[in-house]
Structure 1
Amino acid sequence: MEDERRPVLGGNSDWMSRLPEELLDVPLWNLALPGSHDTMSFCLDISSPVLRSESFILRLTDLLFPCCTRPCVYRWATTQQSILADQSDLGVRFFDLRIAKKPSSGSNLFFAHGIYTLMTVKEALKDLATWLEAHPKEIVIISCSHFDSMTNEDHVHLVEFILILFNLKLCSSKNVPTLRSCWSRGQQVIISYENEAMLLEHPELWKAIPYWYADSPNPKKVISYLETQKLKGRPDGFYVSGLNLTEDASYVALHPCQTMRKMTTKALPLLLHWTEAQRPGPEPDRINIVCCDFVNVSEFCSIVSGLNTN
C-alpha cells in the first residue's frame, strides 16, 4: 500500500551546488526551495503534556484522560519522520522549527506541535551544523517561531547559542543572499526569528517569513487557497506556500482510524501535480519556498528543486 512505502532518502544532498551558472546571482527568494512543515515533529514525546497554549478543553481532557489524549495528539501532530541531516540529504532547505519551554525541563528548550519533542533544540541544531560542514555549498533557512512559554532570558540564551554555533556561516539580514554571494563569504545559514526584541538587537537575524496556510484537510481547498493568494501577488523577500493539510476536532472524530500521514499520503498526488506546474521568480504569481508534510514519502524535494531548471 502507498502508505507503507519505505522512505525515499538521499539523492538531493548537493542540489544547490549543481544549479546552472545563470542562477548563481539570483536572490534566494526567487528560487524554488523545498521546506518541511513542523520539521521536528518526528520525535514527539507521547508522555509529555499538551502545550500550555492549546485550548482549555484539550488541556483539561489531557489532565483527566492522558492515556487517550496524548496518543491521539501524537497521531495527528506527527508530520515528519527524520532528523535534520536526513531531511537535508533529501533536499530540504527550509526548516520550520517551533520552539517551546517544556515544564520542569530546566534551561533546555524543545520543539513542540501539540505536545513536546524528545530532542532538544541544541541537539537538533548541532546535527544540522555538522551536516553543513560536509556540504559547504548548500544554504539553509531556519525559521524559529511560536516560542511557547519562553521567557526573555530563554530568547537571549537561544540566540546566543545560535550565533556561536553558526558564527561566520550566518547570512545577515542586511545582505541580498544569492548562491554566489553566500559561497564567496562562506555563508550557509539564514535565521528567521519571530521575536521583535531579538531582531532589533541582532542584525544577523531575519524577520518572520510569511507562510501561506490554508488550514483545511481538503487538498482541493489547499490548492484553491494558494491560487487565490497568488492572484494577490507574492510578498517581497522570502515566503512559504504550504501544502500541508490541517485536521480539526470534527475531522478527527469522523476519522477515528486515520492519521496525519494517511491523510497526507492520500492527498500528495494532487498537491504534487499542482507543484509541478509552478515556477519560481520575482513575478507576482511565482513561488519561493514550498513546504510539505512527510517530505520523505514522495518525490516532493526533487519536484520543487527541479522547478529551478525547468
Structure 2
Amino acid sequence: MALQGEKCRLADPGVYVAISSEADQGSEGNHTIRWLEVHWHDVTDSQEGDFVGLWNEDPSESLGTPLHQNPASGSDGMFRTSEEWNGSLVPTTLDGVGDSCLPYWAGYVRDGVLIYSSCLMIRPRWLEAQKAHLSYTHLTKVALPGTHDAGASDHYAAGTIADVVGRWTFAQDESLWEQLVFGVRYVDMRIAYYPETEEKLFVNHGEVRIAPLQGYIDDVVSFMRQTNEVVIFDIHRLPHGFDGFPERHKELIEVLETNFANWMTPKDLYPDPIMDELWTTGARLIVTYPSSEGSQSVYLWPSVYHLWGDVNTLEDLESYMYTGIPQQANRGSLWSAMTELTPSALDVSLNRWGGLRGAAAITNTPVTQWFRHDWWDQVNIISMDFFLSSDVISVAVEANEMRGRCVWKWASERAKRWWSSSGSNVTAYNTKSKFNGL
C-alpha cells in the first residue's frame, strides 16, 4: 500500500516500442509490412547528444550498438525505424509461456549511459499476475485495454477486400488470438448473418463482410483454455441479416453458448462483479448482446456502454474524452472509451489520413499520453484501432498496480458477502475508497 503523501501518477519518463499503424503491402499484395517505432515521453531534462535506439537484446545488460538510433530532442517524440515487424514472433500456443519480452528493446541514452529502457512484450497472463490486489476490486474499476472493431482485421481477410475499401474497413492487423496474447482484454465485435452462403455467421465492419465468425470464436476458446484471464467479448452491433428473424438470433446464441459454455459469466453477476467471483467460479468470459433477444439466455449480458465521440479531429476527440471520462468513472456497469477518429463521408471521398491506419497514427500516441497522465485512475476500458501503435496495454497494467497501491478501499457489501460465502481470509485486507464502492 502507498504511504500517505506518496505521489500517485504514471507520468515518469520512459521509452517504449510500438508497431506502426501505417503500412505497405508486400510485392504480391497479400503481406502487410509494418515497422518498429521507438517512442520517448516526459523527458523534461533532455540534453543535446541524447539519443534513442532500438536493440534486439536487452541494452541494460549490454549497451553495444543498437539496430537503429536517432537523436532525441524535446520531452516527447517518436522515430520510425526501417526494422520490419515479424509477426511470427507471437506464439501460437501458451504452454510454458508467460508475460515476456519479444526481441525488441527501446532505450534512451545520454553520454554513453542507458537512462530508460523497455521491451515490446506479450502479456498473456497479466491480469492473473495482479490477482493479489485485484481480487476484491470490482470489474468496472479495473483498467482494461481493448480493441475497437476487433474483428475487422486483415489477418482474416488480407487480399480479399480491395484496397480502396480496405483502407476504411480494417481497424486491426492482429487476430483475436494475437490481440489477447499481447494483453487486450476487451474485443468489440460486429456479427452479421448471410442466409445465402454456406457459412451463415460472419464478422463485419458495417456492411463489409470480413470473415466467418467461427475462426474468431476458435481464437477466443484457445486463449481461454490456456489462461486464467478475464475477457469481455462485446457484440456491439448486428449490422446485417438479423432484423425480423428471431430464429437467426437463436442460432447465433446457440453458437455462442455451445462454444463458450465452459467460461461464460452468468447474467446474475451483472452489472459489476468483483474479480474474485470470476476467477473462483471460472466464469471469466463476459459475452454481451445488443438486442432484446439476448434475454433468452442466462449468460448474455447487456451491451457495454460505448463512450464514442463520433468526431474526426484530434482536438475534438480530446475535448470529448476529457469531458466524458470523468462523467462515466463511477458508472457501475462496464463502459469503454472509444478513442478512435470516425471518418465522415467527405473524409472517405477525399481519402483523408490515407484511411484508418493514418487516423490511428494521429491518435494513438496522444491517447497513450492522456491515459498515462490523466485517465489512469478513471477509465474502465480503453479501446482503439491498431492498438500496437500505442502503449495502452503497458499503461493499463501499470495503472492497475498503481490503483492497488494508491487507492485505499473499503470492501463493498457485495465483496463482503463473496468473501463470507467463499471462505476467503480477509483479515489482512485493509481498504478505503475514493471510488464509490470500488
- Give yes or no for TM over 0.5: yes
Q: State the alpha-carbon separation in 2 of the partners of residues 7 and 210 from structure 1.
A: 35
Runs of 4+ displaced beyond 6 Å = none
Q: State the alpha-carbon separation in 2 of the partners of residues 138 and 21 from structure 1.
A: 14
Q: State the alpha-carbon separation in 2 of the partners of residues 249 and 275 from structure 1.
A: 29
User: In the alignment, is the contact (CA less than 8 A) between 2:167 and 2:356 conserved in 1?
Assistant: yes
Q: CA deviation at 1:105?
A: 1.7
Match of 1:146 among 237, 253, 266: 237
Match of 1:18 among 124, 129, 132: 129
Match of 2:152 among 41, 45, 69: 41
Higher strand share: 2
Question: Does residue 354 of structure 2 align to residue 243 of structure 1?
Answer: no
Q: State the alpha-carbon separation in 1 of the partners of residues 149 and 160 from structure 2.
A: 19
One-letter code aligned to 1:268: N
For 1:42-191, what aligned pairs fall within 5 Å after superposition?
A: 42=153, 43-44=156-157, 71-102=163-194, 104-106=196-198, 108-135=200-227, 137-147=228-238, 148-150=240-242, 151-175=245-269, 176-191=272-287
Greater relative contact order, per chain length (Cα 8 Å cut-off, separation 6+): 1
Residues 10-54 of structure 1 show CA distances to partners (whole Å, capped at 9, x for unaligned) of 521110011152321111111000110000111358767xxxxxx
User: In the alignment, is the contact (CA less than 8 A) between 2:266 and 2:283 conserved in 1?
Assistant: no
User: In the alignment, is the contact (CA less than 8 A) between 2:204 and 2:211 conserved in 1?
Assistant: no
The aligned residue for residue 359 of structure 2 is: 263
Structure 2 alignment gaps of length 5 or more: 1-18, 23-33, 36-84, 91-120, 403-438
Residues 126-151 of structure 1 show CA distances to partners (whole Å, capped at 9, x for unaligned) of 2210111111x201001113212223
Structure with higher Rg: it is: 2
Q: State the alpha-carbon separation in 2 of the partners of residues 142 and 185 from structure 1.
A: 18
User: In the alignment, is the contact (CA less than 8 A) between 1:41 and 1:111 conserved in 2?
Assistant: yes
One-letter code aligned to 1:23: L
Q: State the alpha-carbon separation in 1 of the partners of residues 352 and 359 from structure 2.
A: 12
The aligned residue for residue 289 of structure 2 is: 193
Q: 1:253 to 1:118 in 2, by over 3 A?
A: closer
Q: State the alpha-carbon separation in 2 of the partners of residues 169 and 20 from structure 1.
A: 18
The aligned residue for residue 309 of structure 1 is: 401
Q: TM-score, normalised by structure 2?
A: 0.60
For 1:196-215, what aligned pairs fall within 5 Å after superposition?
A: 196-199=292-295, 201-215=296-310
User: In the alignment, is the contact (CA less than 8 A) between 2:147 and 2:385 conserved in 1?
Assistant: yes
The aligned residue for residue 51 of structure 1 is: none
RMSD: 2.3
Q: CA deviation at 1:303?
A: 1.7
Q: 1:114 to 1:18 in 2, by over 3 A?
A: same
Deviates more, 1:203-212 or 1:222-231: 222-231
One-letter code aligned to 1:155: H
Q: CA deviation at 1:197?
A: 2.2
The aligned residue for residue 60 of structure 1 is: none
Higher helix share: 1
User: In the alignment, is the contact (CA less than 8 A) between 2:376 and 2:396 conserved in 1?
Assistant: no
Question: Does residue 364 of structure 2 align to residue 272 of structure 1?
Answer: no
Q: 1:298 to 1:256 in 2, by over 3 A?
A: closer
One-letter code aligned to 1:254: L
Identity of aligned residues (%): 22
Q: 1:149 to 1:45 in 2, by over 3 A?
A: farther
User: In the alignment, is the contact (CA less than 8 A) between 1:12 and 1:302 conserved in 2?
Assistant: no
Q: State the alpha-carbon separation in 2 of the partners of residues 267 and 180 from structure 1.
A: 34
Query: Is the partner of 1:296 in helix, strand or coil?
Result: helix
User: In the alignment, is the contact (CA less than 8 A) between 2:353 and 2:359 conserved in 1?
Assistant: no
Q: State the alpha-carbon separation in 2 of the partners of residues 297 and 232 from structure 1.
A: 27
Q: TM-score, normalised by structure 1?
A: 0.83
Residues 183-210 of structure 1 show CA distances to partners (whole Å, capped at 9, x for unaligned) of 21112200111111222x2121100111
Q: 1:256 to 1:171 in 2, by over 3 A?
A: closer
Structure 1 alignment gaps of length 5 or more: 49-69
Q: 1:232 to 1:266 in 2, by over 3 A?
A: closer
Q: State the alpha-carbon separation in 2 of the partners of residues 165 and 41 from structure 1.
A: 21
User: In the alignment, is the contact (CA less than 8 A) between 2:233 and 2:288 conserved in 1?
Assistant: yes
One-letter code aligned to 2:263: K
Count of matched residue pairs: 283
Q: CA deviation at 1:7?
A: 7.0
Q: 1:44 to 1:214 in 2, by over 3 A?
A: farther
Q: 1:169 to 1:261 in 2, by over 3 A?
A: same
User: In the alignment, is the contact (CA less than 8 A) between 2:169 and 2:208 conserved in 1?
Assistant: no
The aligned residue for residue 63 of structure 1 is: none
Match of 1:28 among 139, 147, 158: 139
The aligned residue for residue 56 of structure 1 is: none
Q: State the alpha-carbon separation in 1 of the partners of residues 163 and 351 from structure 2.
A: 15
One-letter code aligned to 1:139: V
One-letter code aligned to 2:151: M
Q: CA deviation at 1:231?
A: 4.5
Deviates more, 1:217-226 or 1:296-305: 296-305
